[in-house]
Amino acid sequence: MTTDQASRLEVEDLQQNLRSVQERLARTHDPAGLRAELDKLHPADLAYILEALPLDERLVVWNLVKAEREGEILLELSDAVRESLIATMDSKELVAAAETLDADEIADLAPDLPEEVVQDVIRALPQEERVLLRAALSYDEGTVGALMEFDQVTVREDVTLEAATRYLRALDELPPHTDQLFVIDRGNKLRGTLPLARLIVSDLERVVGDVMVPESVKLRPEDRAEDAAQAFERYDLVSAPVVDLITGSLVGRVTVNAVMDHIREKSAESQLAEAGLSKEEDVFAPVWNSFKNRWAWLAVNLVTAFVASRVIGAFEGSIEKLVALAALMPIVAGIGGNSGNQTITMIVRALALGQIQSSYWNKLIAKELGVATLNGVVWGGLLGFATYLLYHSVALGGVMALAMLLNLLLAAGMGVAIPALRARFGRDPAVGSSVLITACTDSGGFFIFLGLATLFLL
Amino acid sequence: MTTDQASRLEVEDLQQNLRSVQERLARTHDPAGLRAELDKLHPADLAYILEALPLDERLVVWNLVKAEREGEILLELSDAVRESLIATMDSKELVAAAETLDADEIADLAPDLPEEVVQDVIRALPQEERVLLRAALSYDEGTVGALMEFDQVTVREDVTLEAATRYLRALDELPPHTDQLFVIDRGNKLRGTLPLARLIVSDLERVVGDVMVPESVKLRPEDRAEDAAQAFERYDLVSAPVVDLITGSLVGRVTVNAVMDHIREKSAESQLAEAGLSKEEDVFAPVWNSFKNRWAWLAVNLVTAFVASRVIGAFEGSIEKLVALAALMPIVAGIGGNSGNQTITMIVRALALGQIQSSYWNKLIAKELGVATLNGVVWGGLLGFATYLLYHSVALGGVMALAMLLNLLLAAGMGVAIPALRARFGRDPAVGSSVLITACTDSGGFFIFLGLATLFLL
The per-residue pLDDT for range B343-376, each reduced to its tens digit, is 998 998 888 887 888 778 888 899 999 999 999 9
Q: Which residues of B touch A143 (CB under 8 A)?
A: 6
Provide the 8-state DSSP code for A367: H
Report CB contact under 8 Å: A274, B270. Answer: no
Q: Tell me how far apart the alpha carbons of residues A263 and B317 are, in angstroms, rounded to a whole number.
A: 53
The per-residue pLDDT for range A277-322, each reduced to its tens digit, is: 878 888 888 899 899 889 888 999 999 999 999 999 999 999 999 9
Strand B180-184 with B190-195, pairing:
antiparallel
The answer to whether A363 contacts chain B (CB < 8 Å) is: yes
- pLDDT of residue B12 exceeding 50, the answer is yes
Domains and CATH numbers, chain A: 2-138 (1.25.60.10), 154-274 (3.10.580.10), 287-457 (1.10.357.20)
For B70-114, the pLDDT digits (tens) are 999 999 998 889 999 999 999 899 999 998 999 899 998 998 899
Q: Residue B239 forms beta bridges with which residues?
A: B255
Q: Which tops the pLDDT comparison, B19 or B331?
A: B331
- State how far the Cα of A284 lies from the Cα of B30, in Å rounded to an integer: 64
Q: Chain B contact for A22, CB < 8 A?
A: yes
The yes-or-no verdict on residue A118 having pLDDT over 60 is yes
Task: Scan residues 376-405 of A and list those with Cβ closer than 8 Å to B.
Answer: 378-379, 382-383, 386, 390
Interface test with A, best of B180, B204, B345, B450 (most A CBs within 10 A): B345
Q: Per-residue b/e over A362-383, b at no fewer than 16 CB within 10 Å?
A: eebbebbbbbbbbbbebbbeeb
3-state secondary structure of B240: strand
CA angle A358, A359, A362 (to 5 degrees): 100
CA distances to A221, A241, A248, B12, B180 from A244, in Å: 7, 10, 5, 18, 31
pLDDT (mean) for B216-243: 90
Phi and psi angles of residue A174, each rounded to the nearest 5 degrees, phi first: -95, 150
Q: Which residues of A touch B296 (CB under 8 A)?
A: none
| DSSP string computed for B176-232 | TT--EEEEE-TT-BEEEEEEHHHHHHS-TTSBHHHHSBSS---B-TTSBHHHHHHHH
Give the chain B residue whose CA is nearest to the CA of A371. B287
Which residues 135-174 on chain B approach chain A with CB closer than 8 angstroms?
143, 165, 168-169, 171-174
- Tell me if chain B has a CB within 8 Å of the CB of A453: no
Interstrand relation of B190-195 and A180-184 (parallel, antiparallel or unpaired) = unpaired
Which residues in A lie closer than 8 A to residue B52 (C-beta atoms)? 354-357
Q: Which DSSP helix (H) or strand (E) runs through A293?
A: helix A287-313
pTM exceeds cut of 0.95: no
What distance in Å separates the CA atoms of residue A107 and residue A126, rounded to the nearest whole number? 15
Q: Angle CA(A78)–CA(A83)–CA(A85) in degrees, nearest 5?
A: 100
Q: Is the pLDDT higher at B296 or at A19?
A: B296
Q: Is A176 on the interface with B (CB under 8 A)?
A: yes
Strand partners, B219: B242
Is B220 within 8 Å of A6 when comparing Cβ atoms? yes
Q: Which pLDDT value is given to residue A11?
A: 52
Which pLDDT score is estimated for B7?
A: 32
Proportion of chain A above pLDDT 90, given as a percent:
51
What's the gap in Å between the CA of B70 and the closest CA on chain A? Answer: 17
Q: At residue A36, does pLDDT exceed 90?
A: no
**A351 CB near a chain B CB, below 8 Å?**
no
In this complex, is the C-beta atom of B339 within 8 Å of any C-beta atom belonging to chain A?
yes
Beta bridge partners of A254: A240
Alpha carbon distances (Å) from B436 to A230, A247, A409: 35, 57, 26
Q: What is the pLDDT of residue B215?
A: 77
Mean pLDDT (whole number) for B35-46: 88
A219 min Cα distance to partner chain B (Å): 7
Is B4's pLDDT higher than 60?
A: no
pLDDT of residue B28: 66
Nearest-by-Cβ selection for A308 from B319, B330, B347: B330
Structural contact between residues B384 and B401, judged by C-beta atoms closer than 8 angstroms: yes
- Give chain A's mean pLDDT: 89
Average pLDDT estimate for A42-47: 90
pLDDT (0 to 100) of residue A5: 31
Chain A: closest CA distance from residue B95 (Å): 25
Least confident of A444-448, B132-136, B198-202, B424-428: B424-428
Q: In the prediction, which pLDDT does B2 show?
A: 31
> How many whole angstroms separate alpha carbon B373 and alpha carbon A288?
11
Q: CA nearest B112: which of B71, B149, B58, B67?
A: B71
Nearest to A11 among B169, B354, B434 (CB): B354
Q: Left (φ > 0), alpha (ψ -120 to 50) or beta: where does A4 sit?
A: alpha
Q: Taking a contact as any Cβ pair under 8 Å apart, which residues of chain B between 309 and 338 contact chain A?
A: 309-310, 312-313, 316, 319-320, 323-331, 333-335, 338
Confidence band for B269, pLDDT divided at 50, 70 and 90: confident
Quick check: B238 and A230 CB within 8 A? Answer: no
Residue contact A230–B10, C-beta within 8 A: yes
Nearest CA to B324 out of B379, B376, B395, B387 is that of B387
| CB neighbours of residue A46 within 10 Å | 23
Q: What is the pLDDT of residues A385-398, one digit of tens each?
A: 999 999 999 999 99
Q: How far is A355 from chain B (nearest CA, A)?
A: 4
> Residues B143-171: what's their mean pLDDT?
92
